[in-house]
Each structure stands twice: as structure tokens, then as C-alpha cells.
């Protein structure tokens, strides 16, 4: 499972996702995200940011590991191909799960659009980086 795998690529892809998340939520859509969180009755101030960031980074490593194998199985080597493949994976799996949160848990469409936008772009970035660097 780990033979021939570059841990540097996994770490790099996870760092790209983590850095994009920081940029997305702090600079690109901070007002929209905070407004959407208020609509959903979730208090941003009550979130333990340290635990959230550690958990998110660990999740990014898992996502990078799975994408690394999928990109390898598909024999992709360009940023474009890896990004398109990961975007397709998002559409079929991550996007559907996020949509279910709107349909069954009462998550607002605004929060869905902020979260789904982040997940979509970060998946594409990770897939592109993994394909290009492997």
C-alpha cells in the first residue's frame, strides 16, 4: 500500500488543500461563510479552531492518499488531468454528501455553496498537484 509512494507528494497535496482552505475562509468568502453559519444557527466563535485545523489536516492527508492511488490507477501525469479527475470525483461523491446535508439536515443553500465551493476547488487542486508531482 505504501511501496513506491512519495510521502512528500502526500504532504504537499495536503498542505495545498490546507493553505487554500485558509485563503478561502479568511480572504475569499469570510463574510459569506460567517453569514451562512449564523443562518444555520452555528456559532463560529464556539468552534475549537486548533482541533478543527488538526482534524482537517489529517483528513487532507487521507484524501491525498486516496487521490494518489486513484490518480496512479488512471495513469494521470498533468495538472489539468489530475484536477479534472478530482473534480469529477467531487461531483460524484463529495458533492452528493454535501447536498444530503441540505436535504436532510437543514443545512442552508448558502452554507452549502461556500462549503461545496471549497471542497470542489481544493479537490481539484489536490488532484492536479498529485498528478503533476508523482
Summarised one tens digit per residue, pLDDT across range 19-76 is: 999 999 999 998 998 888 876 666 667 778 899 899 999 999 999 999 999 999 999 9
- pTM, two decimals, is 0.89
Phi and psi torsions of 24, nearest 5°:
-60, -50
Q: Are 119 and 98 in contact (CB under 8 A)?
A: yes
Instruction: Answer whether residue 106 is part of any domain.
Output: yes
Tally of structural domains, the chain: 1
Q: Indicate whether 28 belongs to any domain.
A: yes
Over the Cα atoms of the chain, what is R_g? 16
Asked whether residue 1 is domain-assigned, the answer is no
Q: What is the mean pLDDT of residues 106-110?
A: 90
Mean pLDDT of the chain: 91
Domain membership of residue 13 (yes or no) is: yes
Q: Tell me, letter by letter, the H, E, C secondary structure of the chain.
A: CCCCCCHHHHHHHHHHHHHHHHHHHHHHCHHHHHHHHHHCCCCHHHCCHHHHHHHHHHHHHHHHHHHHHHHHHHCCCCHHHHHHHHHHHHHHHHHHHHHHHHHHHCCCHHHHHHHHHHHHHHHHHHHHHHHHHC
Does 26 fall in a domain?
A: yes
- Structure-block grid coordinates of residue 91: 461531483
* Residues 6 or more apart in contact with residue 87 via CB below 8 angstroms: 120, 123, 124, 127
What's the confidence (pLDDT) of residue 48?
85
Range of the domain at 84: 7-40+47-133
Q: Which residue has the cell 473534480?
A: 87
**Residue 4 — pLDDT band, cuts 50, 70, 90?**
confident
Whether 63 is covered by a domain: the verdict is yes
Q: What is the pLDDT of residue 44?
A: 64
The predicted model gives 92-119 an average pLDDT of 93
- pLDDT score for 40: 65
**Within-domain flag for 2:** no
Q: Is residue 80 part of a domain?
A: yes
Amino acid at each position: 500500500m505504501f511501496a513506491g509512494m512519495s510521502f512528500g507528494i502526500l504532504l504537499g497535496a495536503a498542505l495545498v488543500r490546507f493553505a487554500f482552505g485558509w485563503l478561502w475562509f479568511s480572504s475569499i468568502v469570510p463574510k459569506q461563510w460567517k453569514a451562512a453559519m449564523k443562518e444555520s444557527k452555528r456559532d463560529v466563535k464556539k468552534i475549537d479552531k486548533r482541533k478543527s485545523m488538526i482534524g482537517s489536516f489529517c483528513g487532507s492527508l487521507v484524501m491525498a492518499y486516496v487521490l494518489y492511488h486513484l490518480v496512479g490507477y488512471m495513469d494521470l501525469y498533468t495538472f489539468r488531468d489530475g484536477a479534472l479527475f478530482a473534480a469529477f470525483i467531487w461531483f460524484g461523491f463529495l458533492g452528493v454528501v454535501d447536498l444530503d446535508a441540505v436535504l436532510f439536515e437543514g443545512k442552508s443553500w448558502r452554507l452549502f455553496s461556500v462549503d461545496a465551493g471549497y471542497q470542489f476547488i481544493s479537490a481539484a487542486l489536490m488532484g492536479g498537484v498529485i498528478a503533476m508531482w508523482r
